[in-house]
């Protein structure tokens, strides 16, 4: 414990230096804007801003990108509460009761509860990250290629299982993403695969053009042509203070949302989205006044908003400690760290303590910045939504192209982004999730290398995956998930994932 506090002291000495504070502030500000703007989620935001970090050192870059991530979680609640438009997917549940509160004249209180809940959840979950990541990293030092392969496969299976809707479709998208990740030079044999003479494809498809195409451009293609911006409820500053009754009603949901969000955040999947749905369902089930849900229940705002912020910190645990991204956003952040020559994984904490602990401390600072930024300046952020969409989407498109081009200075990446944009638009129409594709692209080289190294270790015997206890346990968990899904399918009942899928489409409340 004393060692942890000592390390945290080192972290604060890094995080409180003026340049780091500045980049934390910029990240939080941009993240809030990204969260406020419908359609530009944290993934597209981080991908777009990635080139802007190239001139920075690794600590400043990761602090800024993390600020964008949790800033977007804060910002997403603003439009949900005041306009009933989720700024990003994790805020869908906040729309229901947040907007109902706003219509009753309690919009300011809803924003304050969301802001304070997010702050508490963000801060408490950083403590969890701080305590959990180092022992997990120490444990992961025992991992060899078979364990990593089992972990990566488990990650994909959990991702597919946790997604709302069909597991077969999610697994198909994961397989498709892994196939895209096969493009380029084979690391073991040096063969060119599916490059068709395009030299730039030798290094494979970059995660940034794939992510920006699937999430940024696809959103623009889907929403282009929309008419006038919707009306906005503008709360006054003095209305931001919740009543004593509202504070009382929000305390327990904030606590539960924090714990739930952090635990779900560690698991693979779009944790910040799932955690808010699960938190809403839990609060509704535990409430003595279920009839208030959907009509302005305070717990319906406090729980989900706390959960999605806690999940954002939880998602950093496997990324920093194991070097394994648990979803598309940590995958892009992992790629960003690699661009700066840092390899996240078990040795990161030992080899780069200033970066790791500086990052942890910057998250405490970032949460304070976001609280200060979000409540008094809410009116300012809402004004951005008054920019007519015909002017907004060309600007987002310019930033998308700019961001993608700047990574490698290659027009091939722009083409990849355009193709992925069309694909993302079509896949949305056909009701497919695109997040597993991004994760597949990132994990493909790791999975292939681990498989071939494992087989080289065992003289080609596949028994190595069941003879080594950690790998066997991880694979068993993966198989159990597939069986659980088959069981649910055989019963033809609607499980929690089906209900979440319906809720996302606005057809049912979870």
Which stretches of the chain bind another protein, using CB under 8 A?
A: 51-52, 54-55, 166, 168-169, 171-172, 175-176, 178-179, 182, 186, 188-189, 191, 193-194, 217, 220-225, 390-391, 393-395, 397-399, 401-402, 405-406, 409, 411, 414-415, 417-418, 421-422, 425, 427, 429-432, 444, 447-448, 451-452, 455, 459-462
Residue with smaller CB distance to another protein, 18 or 460: 460
What minimum distance in Å lies between the beta carbon of 302 and another protein? 35
Output the six-digit token pair for 332: 């892009």
Residue with smaller CB distance to another protein, 21 or 222: 222
What minimum distance in Å lies between the beta carbon of 194 and another protein? 7
The three-class DSSP label of residue 344 is coil
Residue with smaller CB distance to another protein, 82 or 201: 201
What minimum distance in Å lies between the beta carbon of 45 and another protein? 16
Residue with smaller CB distance to another protein, 170 or 352: 170
Residue with smaller CB distance to another protein, 402 or 466: 402
User: From residue 34, how far is each of 173, 213, 215, 328, 384 by CA, in Å?
Assistant: 26, 16, 13, 16, 11
Rounded CA separation 439/99 (Å)? 33
What minimum distance in Å lies between the beta carbon of 103 and another protein? 28
The three-class DSSP label of residue 185 is strand
> Residue 265's closest CA among 254, 255, 278, 253?
278
**C-alpha 409 chain-centroid distance:** 27
> Residue 117's closest CA among 321, 371, 344?
371
How many CA atoms are closer than 13 Å to the CA of 202, on its beta-carbon side? 8
DSSP label at residue 10: H
- CB–CB of 423/115 below 8 Å? no
Which residues, 6+ apart, have CB-to-CB distance to 168 below 8 Å? Answer: none
Residue with smaller CB distance to another protein, 294 or 394: 394
What minimum distance in Å lies between the beta carbon of 186 and another protein? 4
Rounded CA separation 372/4 (Å)? 28
Residue with smaller CB distance to another protein, 401 or 474: 401
Residue with smaller CB distance to another protein, 1 or 227: 227
Residue with smaller CB distance to another protein, 172 or 338: 172
**Dihedral sign (CA 277, 278, 279, 285):** positive
**Dihedral sign (CA 458, 460, 461, 465):** positive
- CB–CB of 71/369 below 8 Å? no
Residue corresponding to tokens 């293609």:
221
Angle of CA points 500, 209, 64, to nearest 5°: 80
What minimum distance in Å lies between the beta carbon of 509 and another protein? 22
What minimum distance in Å lies between the beta carbon of 37 and another protein? 16
Residue with smaller CB distance to another protein, 422 or 473: 422
Q: Buried (b) or exposed (e) across 73-100, using 16+ Cβ within 10 A?
A: bbbbbbbbbbbbbbbbbbbbbbbbbbbb
């Amino acid at each position: 414990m004393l060692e942890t506090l000592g390390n945290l002291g080192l972290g604060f000495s890094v995080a409180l230096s003026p340049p780091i504070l500045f980049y934390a502030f910029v990240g939080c500000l941009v993240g809030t804007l990204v969260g406020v703007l419908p359609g530009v989620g944290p993934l597209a935001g981080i991908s777009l801003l990635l080139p802007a970090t190239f001139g920075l050192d690794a600590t400043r870059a990761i602090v800024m990108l993390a600020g964008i991530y949790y800033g977007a979680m804060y910002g997403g609640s603003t439009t949900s509460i005041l306009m009933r438009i989720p700024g990003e997917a994790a805020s869908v549940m906040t729309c229901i009761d947040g907007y109902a509160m706003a219509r009753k004249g309690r919009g300011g209180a809803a924003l304050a509860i969301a802001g304070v809940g997010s702050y508490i959840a963000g801060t408490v979950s950083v403590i969890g990250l701080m305590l959990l990541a180092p022992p997990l990293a120490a444990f992961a030092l025992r991992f060899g290629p078979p364990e990593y392969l089992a972990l990566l496969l488990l990650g994909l299976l959990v991702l597919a299982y946790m997604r709302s809707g069909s597991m077969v479709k999610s697994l198909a998208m994961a397989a498709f993403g892994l196939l895209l990740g096969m493009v380029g030079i084979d690391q073991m044999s040096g063969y060119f695969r599916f490059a068709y003479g395009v030299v730039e494809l030798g290094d494979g498809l970059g995660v940034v053009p794939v992510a920006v195409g699937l999430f940024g451009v696809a959103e623009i293609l889907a929403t282009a042509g929309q008419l006038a911006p919707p009306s906005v409820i503008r709360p006054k500053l003095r209305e931001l203070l919740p009543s004593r009754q509202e504070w009382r009603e929000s305390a327990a949901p904030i606590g539960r949302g924090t714990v739930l969000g952090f635990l779900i955040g560690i698991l693979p999947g779009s944790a910040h989205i799932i955690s808010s749905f699960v938190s809403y369902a839990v609060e509704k089930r535990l409430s003595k006044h279920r009839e208030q849900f959907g009509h302005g229940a305070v717990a319906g705002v406090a729980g989900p908003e706390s959960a999605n912020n806690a999940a954002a910190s939880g998602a950093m645990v496997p990324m920093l400690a194991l070097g394994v991204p648990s979803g598309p956003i940590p995958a892009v952040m992992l790629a960003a760290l690699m661009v700066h020559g840092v390899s996240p994984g078990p040795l990161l904490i030992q080899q780069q303590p200033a970066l790791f602990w500086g990052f942890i401390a910057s998250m405490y600072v970032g949460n304070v910045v976001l609280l200060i930024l979000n409540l008094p300046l809410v009116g300012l952020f809402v004004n951005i939504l008054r920019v007519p969409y015909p002017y907004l989407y060309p600007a987002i498109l310019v930033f998308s192209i700019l961001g993608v081009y700047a990574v490698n200075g290659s027009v091939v990446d722009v083409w990849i982004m355009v193709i992925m944009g069309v694909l993302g638009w079509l896949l949305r129409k056909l009701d497919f999730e695109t997040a597993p594709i991004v994760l597949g692209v990132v994990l493909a080289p790791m999975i292939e290398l681990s498989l071939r190294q494992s087989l080289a270790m065992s003289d080609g015997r596949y028994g190595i995956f069941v003879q080594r206890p950690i790998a066997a346990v991880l694979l068993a968990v993966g198989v159990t998930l597939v069986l659980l899904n088959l069981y649910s399918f055989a019963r033809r009942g609607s499980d929690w994932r089906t209900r979440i899928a319906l809720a996302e489409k606005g057809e049912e409340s979870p």
